Amino acid sequence: MSSVQTPPAAATAAVPHPHHAARWLILGVIALAQLMVVLDSSIVNIALPNAQSDLSFGDESRQWIVTAYALGFGSLLLLGGRLSDVVGRKPMFIAGLLGFAVASALGGAATSFELLVAARGAQGVSAALLAPAALSLLTVIFVDAKERATAFAVFAAVSGAGGAVGVILGGALTEYLSWRWCMYVNVPIAVVALLGALALLKKEPRAERGGRIDAPGTIVVVAGLVALVYGLAEAEVKGWGSATTLGFIALGVVLLAVFVAIETRVAHPLLPLRVVRDRTRGGSFVAVGVVGIGFFSVFLFMTFYLSTVAGFGPLKTGLAFLPLIAGVTVAAGVSSPLVGRIGPKLPIASGFVLAAVGMFVLSRLGLDSGYVIHVLPAFIVVGVGFGFVVAPGFSAATYGVDPDDAGVASAMVNTAQQIGGSIGIAVLSALASSAATDFLVGRDPSGVNAALAAVESYTTAFWWTGAMFVAAAVVCGALLRHGAIETDGDAPRAMH
C-alpha cells in the first residue's frame, strides 16, 4: 500500500493524511462514482426492449448490450487494481470518470447496434479503472477503525441501492424520455464527480509495492476471457457443434490455462495463485460467480417477459423488480454477521437452494401468469436466496488473505461476479434460443405461437439457472469449511 511522505521521527504520528480534512467530502465523491458504476449494471436492462426496437437488432444480439459492460469490467478489474497501485489512485480515478462520461455520451447517441455495444464495452473498461481506485482511496483515507467502518457502510449502501435506483430510473427515463437517457444520465453524474475529484484529491507518490505490470498475464487473460465468452455467445447463432463456437471456446480455455502457467512464473503476477488456492476463498469465488449468472439471468429475461408478454411499461417493469432487490438487501443484512458465527457454508448453500426454488417457480410461467400470484413470490424467494449468497460470499472471499493480497482478492471476487454473469448469459441465451426454435418446429411462427415460443425461451433459461444453483449448492457445500470465521475488524476489505 502506498503512503504519503511525512516528516521523520516522532512528528510522523502527528501528521494527518493530506486528505484527512476533506475526507467526508471525498467519500461523497467516491459514493457518487460508485453509484454510477452500479447503476449501469441494471439501468440498461429496462431499456433493452426499446433499444432493440429502435436499433432493429435481433434477439440473438441483445445479450451483448449486457455482456459488453460486464466483460469489459470483469476482465480488466485485476489490471485496474494494479494500475492504481503503480500509476496512482487519483489519475486512475479521474481517467475512469472521463472514460465513463465519454462512453455514455457515445452510447446515448448510438445509431447502430455495433456502436452501442462498443460504448457499453468502453463503460466497462472505464469502470474497471474507476472501481479499484475508489476503494483504494477509501482504504488509505479512512485509517481510524470507526470512521472506516462508517465509510465502508456508506459505500456498501450505495452499492446495494444502486440496483434499485437503476431499475426505477431506467424505467422512468425510458418511459418518459427515451432509452438513450439511460446512457446520457451518466454524463452529469460523472462531471460532478470529476469536478469534486479535481478539487479535493491530492497528488500522491507512486505506490511502494511493485512497480511493474504483468503485461503477458494481462494480455493472455483478457484474450482468453473474450474468446471464451464470444464462443459461448456464438452457440446461440451457429449452434454448439459449429467450428466457430468450438474453436473460440477451445481457444479461450487454452489461453486461460496459459495464464495460469504465466502466473506461476512471473515476479509480479496479476493474480497470485495463492489467493485462489484456499478452499474458503475458492468456494466463495465460485459462489459469487454463479450468483452473478442468476442476477444477469433474472434481469435480462424477466425484463423481456414483463414488457413483451405481461405488457408492462418500462417504469412498471422497473418497479416490479423492487421486491427482489428488497429480498437481497434484507437477507444480506441478516446473513453477513453469520460468517463470524457459523461460517459461510450453511448460508451460501441454503441461499442457493432457496434461489433454485424461486427459479424453478419462474420456469412455470405462461402467457396468462399474473404478477402478484406467480412472479412476486418467486422474486422474493430468489432475492432472499441471492442475499444469503452474496454477503457471506464477499466476506469469506477476503478472509485470511495476506495484507499484500487484499486488493487482488477483492478485485478477484468482483471479477468472478462479472465474468460469471457474462459466461452465464452467453450460455443461457443459447439455450433459450434453441428452446424457442424447437418449440416452433411444425408450428406457424406468428401470433400466439410466437409469444409461446418466447415464453418457452425465458422459462428454459430459468430452469437451467435453477439447475446451476442446485449444482452450486453442492459444490460450495463441499468446498466451504464449516464453523465460525474470525475476521480482523480493522483489516481493510477493499482494494488497495
What does the pLDDT look like over 64-75, one tens digit per residue?
Answer: 888 888 788 878
List b or e across 461-490, with b for residues whose CB sees 16 or more CB atoms inside 10 angstroms.
bbbbbbebbbebbebbbebbeeeebeeeee
Answer yes or no: is pLDDT of 205 > 90: no
Mean pLDDT of the chain: 81
- Cα separation of 414 and 363, whole Å? 28
Answer yes or no: is pLDDT of 103 > 70: yes
Answer yes or no: is pLDDT of 188 > 50: yes
Band of residue 472 on the pLDDT scale cut at 50, 70, 90 = very high
Answer yes or no: is pLDDT of 364 > 70: yes
pLDDT for 283 equals 85
Mean pLDDT score, 64-93: 81
Q: Which of 480, 379, 359, 380 is nearest to 424 (CA)?
A: 359
pLDDT for 467 equals 95
Answer yes or no: is pLDDT of 148 > 70: no
- Cα separation of 45 and 65, whole Å? 8
C-alpha cell at 457: 425461451
pLDDT for 423 equals 83
Answer yes or no: is pLDDT of 465 > 90: yes
Mean pLDDT score, 432-443: 86
pLDDT for 350 equals 92
- Name the strand (E) or helix (H) holding 33: helix 23-39
- Name the strand (E) or helix (H) holding 78: helix 63-86
Whether the full predicted model's pTM is greater than 0.85, yes or no, is no
Band of residue 12 on the pLDDT scale cut at 50, 70, 90 = very low
User: pLDDT for 238-284, tens place per residue?
Assistant: 777 888 888 988 998 999 999 989 988 887 787 777 777 777 778 88
User: What is the CA angle 379-381-384, rounded to 5?
Assistant: 105
Mean pLDDT score, 443-451: 82
- Residue with more model confidence, 71 or 147: 71
pLDDT for 351 equals 93
Answer yes or no: is pLDDT of 145 > 70: no
Q: Which of 297, 352, 341 is nearest to 478 (CA)?
A: 352
Q: Are the CB atoms for 212 and 4 separated by under 8 Å?
A: no
HSE-CB of 16 using CA atoms within 13 angstroms: 9
Provide the 10 A C-beta neighbour count for residue 215. 11
Q: Are the CB atoms for 42 and 185 separated by under 8 Å?
A: no
- Cα separation of 167 and 165, whole Å? 6
Answer yes or no: is pLDDT of 63 > 90: no
- Residue with more model confidence, 464 or 481: 464
Answer yes or no: is pLDDT of 219 > 60: yes
Q: Which of 231, 304, 240, 232 is nearest to 59 (CA)?
A: 304
User: What is the CA angle 381-384-385, rounded to 5?
Assistant: 85
Query: CB-based contacts of 339: which residues, under 8 Å, 6+ apart?
Result: 347, 391, 392, 395, 396, 399, 484, 485, 487
Percentage of the residues of the chain whose pLDDT score is greater than 70: 85
Answer yes or no: is pLDDT of 439 > 50: yes
As a residue count, the chain comes to 496
**Packing angle of the helix pair 145-176, 113-141 (nearest 10 deg):** 160
Q: Are the CB atoms for 182 and 46 separated by under 8 Å?
A: yes
HSE-CB of 328 using CA atoms within 13 angstroms: 22
Q: Are the CB atoms for 232 and 110 separated by under 8 Å?
A: no
- Cα separation of 324 and 337, whole Å? 21
Of 9-13, 42-46, 236-240, 436-440, the range with the highest mean pLDDT is: 436-440
C-alpha cell at 37: 458504476
* CB-count burial class (<10 Å; 0-12, 13-18, 19+) for 44: buried
Mean pLDDT score, 100-128: 92
Answer yes or no: is pLDDT of 27 > 50: yes
- Cα separation of 339 and 325, whole Å? 21
Q: Which of 286, 300, 346 is nearest to 471 (CA)?
A: 286
Q: Which of 116, 123, 120, 105 is nearest to 54 (CA)?
A: 116
pLDDT for 394 equals 75
Answer yes or no: is pLDDT of 399 > 70: no
Provide the 10 A C-beta neighbour count for residue 224. 21
Answer yes or no: is pLDDT of 20 > 50: yes
pLDDT for 235 equals 77
Min mean pLDDT across 133-147, 202-216, 248-262, 471-485 is at 202-216
- What is the 8-class DSSP label of residue 205? P
